[in-house]
Chain A
Amino acid sequence: MIEPGNAENIVRNCIHEVADTNEKYKANKPLGKFSIIDDDVVEAFKSEICENEEVGVPAFDHTLDIGELDGIDSETLAGEVEDIIKNKAEPVQKKSKKKRGKN
């Protein structure tokens, strides 16, 4: 599970990845306040959350299906996006190394 503080960082940083905004981050502000209003920009924001390896969910060794963010839009609160990340992100399954035994 992604910790609440990390979820906040993901949302905060991904907002700044897609929009050049001076709006102070608060969980109870809608994404529209951070200049994320157009559908295409919302989609870019979702992609940043799910795929950005530096500031998105993958940066915390988790994965999140973009479908989990399907309902978000410009009126969605930043805190709601944080909640989705906290509840739906899954830890990355590390591939188990096969032990090679001697015959």
Chain B
Amino acid sequence: MPRQIKLLGLSSLAIFCLLGLLLFSAKDTYAQCEKLPSIDSAEGGEKNNFFTVTFDVNTDWEETHEDLVGKARTIKNWIVFSPTLLEKAKQESDPTIKTALFKAATPDIESIELNGNRAIKITFSNSGSDLVTLQKDETYMVNVTAKNDFIPADCIGVAKQITISAPSSTGTTAGQSSATKDKRIVIAEVPDGKDPDIYVEGIMEGARKEKATFTVDGAISKKFFFKKKNRNYFWRPFFNIKASTSEDADPDSLNFGAEFEEVLPNKKIPDNFLKVIRLRFTQAAKVEADRDFKNVNFVGDFRMKIVSKLLNRELFNTIPFNIVPFIGMEIGKNLKSPLDETEGRLLARPLFGANLRAKLYTFNKKSVGYKKVLSFETLYERRFLLKKEIALDTDDDDNFIGVSLTRAPRDYVKSSLTYDFAKNFGFKLNYEYGSLPPLFKLVDNKFSVGLVFKGIFSSK
């Protein structure tokens, strides 16, 4: 019996080793062949003279990138053809039509270029002429074959075929306009660090026998670029609101308006010890009010943002962070006030502050596409009131009462630790202190955890 057990053990060990060897060798072959990226999807271009082919990259992208660049630039690796048109050409008896059908079935590739890291743009040779290279509503096959030195010999051959349809528009102007009309505005994910076009942070707090409180911090904006007389401009309409039903933690501030910026040409700062490289000047005209519009100001907001190389670096050589200080001035006039003595007053508030962003950790760094990110952001700003402004508060019946008429500086600080767990959603841990115009209601050391929805408007 012990011998049988011994034999059984030895044979199990042998089988285990054999399986391991097989698995190892299979993995090795796969590891070589997986360097050949397969086509994930393909999309026709607006003018019907190119396709954009997207790859499905399952491997370590840092290693495969160079291979892909090499392959992409080798035209002979790419074949595009239409099986149905080829079939029609075969059956056609008229030689002129037959030639035309063959030409349409196998359009000549003019250039291949890397369009981003995962997409290859294939442009066909008669682009720009009246001839439509890709036939309307026709189905084409795209093959990528490995024929260069980058790919191991075992992997030579057709990597993958994919069926794609040319867009229904033709190469004419009418076709282009219809393609433009088809564009839809979608809400896309926000790259870390970019200000979202739409942002909503909501918090609901409740306790037994107590009224639930709701807090919202929301913003919507969209940046537009335009060029006039060789000068570049941006303008951005915006709407921001910060409000809460909690009496002790209600900034009660909203503003809307438009920001404007000219990209100043050749305004490079000379070398300086602070390593300031650019100054950005923004101007905004905005209306600031409380959520009930009982106190309304019209304000011009002028800011100079200082971009310094000293403040854009890595912390501990791993965490990239940016600090952008700014100085500015808010000048305006009160349009409506709940108290007669403050109505119509002029407003002037020099200000300074800084915005800090740090990308603490990126999850799944090697994967392609969306990545979960842990980031930290702090905004600090201090306003100096040149004209006395009233700090308003409400009584128990929600009526405005003047608390003080003062020129004391007003601080505002908000720090957020954000974990973006999905494309448009994240958790935020916030700390907030200070007061915001027009009411300057003090938010006294408020901590909160909120769910955030954010996105950028993108045309598809």
Bound together = yes
Residue from the list A22, A67, A73 in contact with B225, Cβ < 8 A: A67
Cβ of A70 and Cβ of B225 under 8 Å apart?
Answer: yes
List, sorted by A's number, 5 A–B pairs whose CB atoms are closer than 8 Å: A18-B307, A28-B61, A35-B312, A40-B324, A73-B194
**Chain A residues within an 8 Å CB radius of B313:** 19-21, 35
Given contacts A20-B309, A52-B268, A66-B232, contact A76 B191 (CB under 8 A): yes
Mask of B90-117 contacts with A, CB within 8 angstroms, 1/0:
0000000000000000000000011111
Size category of the B interface is 35 or more
**Chain B residues within an 8 Å CB radius of A39:** 193-195
Given contacts A35-B321, A73-B191, A74-B194, contact A18 B65 (CB under 8 A): no
Q: Please give me the residue from chain A that is nearest to B73 by CB atom.
A: A4
Cβ of B225 and Cβ of A47 under 8 Å apart?
Answer: no
Tell yes or no: A65 within 8 A of B by CB.
yes
Quote the shortest CB–CB distance from A46 to chain B (angstroms).
8
CA distance A41 to B114 in the complex (A): 26
CA distance A52 to B305 in the complex (A): 19
Cβ of A26 and Cβ of B62 under 8 Å apart?
Answer: yes
Q: Please give me the residue from chain B that is nearest to A33 by CB atom.
A: B320
Known: A19-B313, A28-B65, A37-B322. 16 other contacts (CB 8 A): A17-B309, A18-B309, A20-B275, A20-B310, A23-B314, A37-B193, A40-B280, A41-B307, A43-B278, A44-B278, A50-B263, A66-B263, A67-B225, A67-B226, A73-B194, A74-B194
Residue from the list B117, B263, B324, B358 in contact with A47, Cβ < 8 A: B263
Given contacts A33-B320, A35-B312, A42-B193, contact A51 B116 (CB under 8 A): no
Nearest first, the 10 closest Cβ-Cβ pairs linking A and B are A75-B191, A37-B193, A38-B322, A74-B193, A35-B320, A44-B278, A28-B65, A73-B191, A19-B312, A20-B313
Interface residues in A83-99 (C-beta closer than 8 Å to B): 83, 86-87
Cβ of A44 and Cβ of B277 under 8 Å apart?
Answer: yes
Interface residues in A1-55 (C-beta closer than 8 Å to B): 17-23, 26-28, 32-44, 47-48, 50-53
Cβ of B268 and Cβ of A32 under 8 Å apart?
Answer: no
CA distance A52 to B69 in the complex (A): 28
CA distance A35 to B278 in the complex (A): 16
Tell yes or no: B430 within 8 A of A by CB.
no
Q: Please give me the residue from chain B that is nearest to A29 by CB atom.
A: B62
Quote the shortest CB–CB distance from A8 to chain B (angstroms).
11
CA distance A14 to B202 in the complex (A): 39
Cβ of A73 and Cβ of B193 under 8 Å apart?
Answer: yes
CA distance A85 to B9 in the complex (A): 65
**Chain B residues within an 8 Å CB radius of A17:** 277, 309
Residue from the list B65, B114, B268, B321 in contact with A37, Cβ < 8 A: B321
Residue from the list B223, B226, B312 in contact with A18, Cβ < 8 A: B312
CA distance A43 to B281 in the complex (A): 12
**Chain B residues within an 8 Å CB radius of A53:** 266
Cβ of A51 and Cβ of B265 under 8 Å apart?
Answer: yes
CA distance A36 to B42 in the complex (A): 31
Given contacts A44-B307, A65-B232, A66-B232, contact A35 B114 (CB under 8 A): no
CA distance A87 to B121 in the complex (A): 12
Interface residues in B176-201 (C-beta closer than 8 Å to A): 191-195
Majority DSSP secondary structure for residues of B touching A: strand
Cβ of B114 and Cβ of A67 under 8 Å apart?
Answer: no
Cβ of B117 and Cβ of A28 under 8 Å apart?
Answer: yes
CA distance A28 to B55 in the complex (A): 14
Tell yes or no: A77 within 8 A of B by CB.
yes
CA distance A36 to B113 in the complex (A): 26
Residue from the list A18, A32, A51, A79 in contact with B192, Cβ < 8 A: A32
Quote the shortest CB–CB distance from B261 to chain A (angstroms).
9
Given contacts A38-B324, A51-B265, contact A75 B192 (CB under 8 A): yes
Cβ of B195 and Cβ of A18 under 8 Å apart?
Answer: no
Quote the shortest CB–CB distance from B128 to chain A (angstroms).
15
CA distance A101 to B305 in the complex (A): 53
Tell yes or no: B71 within 8 A of A by CB.
no
Quote the shortest CB–CB distance from A17 to chain B (angstroms).
6
Q: Please give me the residue from chain A that is nearest to B315 by CB atom.
A: A35
Residue from the list A27, A35, A40 in contact with B305, Cβ < 8 A: A40
Interface residues in B276-315 (C-beta closer than 8 Å to A): 277-278, 280, 305, 307, 309-310, 312-314
CA distance A28 to B37 in the complex (A): 15
B114, B310, B358, most chain A CB atoms within 10 A: B114
Cβ of A22 and Cβ of B227 under 8 Å apart?
Answer: no
Tell yes or no: B382 within 8 A of A by CB.
no
Residue from the list B65, B232, B309 in contact with A27, Cβ < 8 A: B65
Cβ of A47 and Cβ of B278 under 8 Å apart?
Answer: yes
Tell yes or no: B359 within 8 A of A by CB.
yes
Mask of B243-282 contacts with A, CB within 8 angstroms, 1/0:
0000000000000000000010111100000010110100
**Chain A residues within an 8 Å CB radius of B309:** 17-20
CA distance A8 to B14 in the complex (A): 54
CA distance A20 to B120 in the complex (A): 32
